Amino acid sequence: MRFPIILATLTSVVFAHEGHNHNPAAVEMNKAATVFLASLDETQRKAASFDFKNKERENWHFVPMDREGVRFDALKPHQQHLAFGLLGTGLTQKGLLTATQIMTLEEILRSRGGDPKVRNTEKYNIAIFGTPSPTKPWGWRFEGHHLSLNFSLLGDKVIGLPAFYGTNPAELKKGPLKGMRPLGEIEDAGRQLTLDLIKAGMSPVFSEQAPKEILTAQDSTAKAQKVQGATSDKMKGEHIKQLLAIVSQVASMQRSEVTNDALRKINTTQRKKLHFAWAGSLERNGPHYFRIQGVDFIIEYANTQNDANHAHLVWRDLKNDFARNSLKEHYAEDHE
C-alpha cells in the first residue's frame, strides 16, 4: 500500500459544501461515493454495488475474513485515492490516522511471519448500498480486519454506527514505530476513571476476570448488557466529566456532523443514566475490559488477547445501528 501518497490524499480530498444542505458531511459523502463509483469499470462496480435493502448492509465483521464489496487491491492507484477520499468524508484527521495505523499493523504482522494472504494492508473492501442521493436512503461501508466503518444516509442525516476499531498489537514494543498505541488514549482514560472511582468508594469493577471479547460481538443487532459497575447518577461531577470525556474520545474518530446528535443526547438527557463497568486487571499490561452504556448506546473496550496486547473498541447504537429507527420514521413519513 502506498501510505505516503494515501496519507497526503487523506488530507487533500475535500468536497465543497454546496447549496442549502445543512449537513456538509452528507453532501461530501454523496459526491465522494458518486465520483468513486464513476471511476470503476463494470466488474469493479458490480462488486462494489448493492441494493440498499440487501441484507449484506448489516453483515458486519472485524475478523480477517473475505468480505463483500470491491477489494482495495483490485483498485488502480487513482481509485484507491478516491476510496480513501470517501473514507475522509466520514472520519476526522484523528480517525483517519487511527484507520491507517490499524491497516499498517497488518503489514507489521506480515513482516513478523504472518500469512500474507491474511495479513494484508490491502485486504479491505468498499461497498456502496443503494445509489448516492441527497434525498433517498443509501449507505456505504469500509471494512477489513480490525476496521468496520458503516455509514447510513437519509438526506441530511448521517448515522455512522456500528463503528469498530481494533489493534494487534495494541502497543508496538519494538521496531521503528515502537510505542505506537492507536487506542491507548481511550484505554488509559478508562483505567484512570476506574482508579478514581475506587478511590472515591464507588468501584466499577464487576469481575476480577475480563471477558475474552466484547460482549456485543459481531451481532447485527447489539443487545444492552446488564447494568453493573458504577452509575452516573451516583457519581461526582468530576467523574461524570471523565466518563463523558471517554465517550467524546471515541466519537472524535468521526466528524462532528455525524456524531453531534448522539453526543447531544448523551451529554444532556442521558448524562445521569449512564453506567461504567470494568473487569479484569487494573495493571496496564493485564487483561481488562470496560464498557459505557446509556439508554440507547454502548461502548465496549477489551484488551485481553495476546498477553493483553490486542485491543478491540466498538461503539453501537442499541436502537439505531444501520439507521434502523431513522429508516422506520422515514418510511412512515413517506407513507403518510
Q: What is the pLDDT of residues 264-322, one digit of tens each?
A: 999 999 999 999 999 999 999 999 999 999 999 999 999 999 999 999 999 999 999 99
Q: What is the pLDDT of residues 123-181, one digit of tens each?
A: 999 999 999 999 999 999 999 999 999 999 999 999 999 999 999 999 999 999 999 99
CB-count burial class (<10 Å; 0-12, 13-18, 19+) for 263: middle
The phi and psi torsions of 103 (rounded to 5 degrees) equal: -70, -35
Sign of CA dihedral 260, 265, 270, 272: positive
What's the pLDDT at 332?
A: 80
**Separation CA 25–CA 154 (nearest Å):** 12
85-90: average pLDDT: 98
Higher pLDDT, 17 or 210: 210
68-74: average pLDDT: 97
Helix, strand or coil, per DSSP, at residue 309: coil
- Does the structure show a pLDDT above 90 at 22? no
**Separation CA 26–CA 152 (nearest Å):** 10
Q: What is the pLDDT of residues 94-106, one digit of tens each?
A: 999 999 999 999 9
Helix, strand or coil, per DSSP, at residue 182: coil
CB-count burial class (<10 Å; 0-12, 13-18, 19+) for 42: exposed
Residue 131's H or E segment, with its range, is none
**Separation CA 181–CA 178 (nearest Å):** 9
- Does the structure show a pLDDT above 70 at 109? yes
Question: Taking a C-beta distance cutoff of 8 angstroms, is the pair 199, 236 a contact?
Answer: no
- pLDDT band of residue 331 (cuts 50, 70, 90) is confident
Question: Taking a C-beta distance cutoff of 8 angstroms, is the pair 15, 88 a contact?
Answer: no
Higher pLDDT, 110 or 229: 229
50-57: average pLDDT: 98
Helix, strand or coil, per DSSP, at residue 44: helix
Residues with Cβ within 8 Å of 94's Cβ and at least 6 positions away in sequence, in order, are 252, 253
What's the pLDDT at 242?
A: 98
What's the pLDDT at 21?
A: 55
Higher pLDDT, 330 or 63: 63
Residue entry with cell 458486519: 60
Q: What is the pLDDT of residues 178-215, one digit of tens each?
A: 999 999 999 999 999 999 999 999 999 999 999 999 99
**Separation CA 198–CA 212 (nearest Å):** 23
Tell me the pLDDT of the chain averaged across its residues. Answer: 93
Q: Where are the domains positioned within the chain?
A: 3-161, 184-319
What's the pLDDT at 5?
A: 43
What's the pLDDT at 114?
A: 86
Written as one string, the DSSP assignment of 73-114 is: GGS-HHHHHHHHHHHHTTB-HHHHHHHHHHHHHHHHHHHTT-
86: its cell numbers? 470517501
